[in-house]
Amino acid sequence: MRFVLTDIDDTLTHGGRLPAVAYTALERLHNAGIRVVPITGRPAGWCDHIARMWPVDGVVGENGALYFHYDTAAKRMVRRYAKSATERAADRQRLDALAARILAEVPGAAVAADQAYREADLAIDFCEDVPPLPREAVQRIVALFEAAGATAKVSSIHVNGWFGAYDKLGMTACLFDEVFGEELAAVRVQVVYAGDSPNDEPMFRHFPNAVGVANVRQWADLIAHPPRWVTQDEGGAGFAELAEALLAVR
């Protein structure tokens, strides 16, 4: 394996925090020469921090709206977006109106606390900073996004919605091509993808060496293409378990 791609929330984290065991696993993989890339629904502002300060080779954020890569030699951030600034501004007006409708129709839902740092999508919180909503309410949020013509994906904490056909897999392919000089389809058997929720399904389907941390089982009924392997531990401990297995064979 030459590459490890990983979701963040509830794959690297546990209870909303990044445990030392998961961060250490990222660092050990990176130091072993394995390229590590978080693939997340988290916002552009977080991605800037992660690309600069974590032991990673880039980050795909907002479910494929962008990738950031910090060029340490040039000391500059490379920022790549799926849509132009003008397109993103027009989308924001539509998403703001949609947010008002969702909050009015789904009691208990809230705009995610990290929304201020987003550049392309709308994140609706159903359990991170609000009391957990029932599965029916989550599906209602998805339906409202889709009725407005938006793409909607369910993570372990948010429903993310955006206008456009981009996704995590497509932007990952761009990063591989433009930063690593690799064709993703040609090296996919050398890639491990780790995730935990329904919005990871396109990645589970694409990569034959996909791994779910143990908490992925709670979403089994919503994942048509599950990961090939599942760790014994949940969250960051499960990711550390995966990293240990990869490092052991090297």
pLDDT score for 122: 98
Secondary structure of residue 65 in the 3-state scheme: coil
* pLDDT tens per residue across span 87-119: 999 999 999 999 999 999 999 999 999 999 999
- The band of 199, judged by pLDDT with boundaries at 50, 70 and 90, is confident
* pLDDT tens per residue across span 10-68: 999 999 999 999 999 999 999 999 999 999 999 999 999 999 999 999 999 999 999 99
Residues 6 or more apart in contact with residue 127 via CB below 8 angstroms:
133, 156, 157
Options 3.60.10.10, 3.30.1370.60, 3.40.50.20, 3.40.50.1000; CATH for 3-82+166-249 is 3.40.50.1000
- The band of 230, judged by pLDDT with boundaries at 50, 70 and 90, is very high
85-162: CATH number: 3.90.1070.10
| Position 250 pLDDT exceeds 90 | no
**CATH 3.90.1070.10 residue spans of the chain:** 85-162
Secondary structure of residue 115 in the 3-state scheme: helix
3-state helix, strand, coil in the chain (%, to 5): 45, 20, 35
Angle at 176 between CA 73 and CA 209, to 5 degrees: 125
Averaged pLDDT, 213-236? 96
**CATH 3.40.50.1000 residue spans of the chain:** 3-82+166-249
Using CA atoms, how far apart are residues 160 and 169, in angstroms rounded to an integer? 16
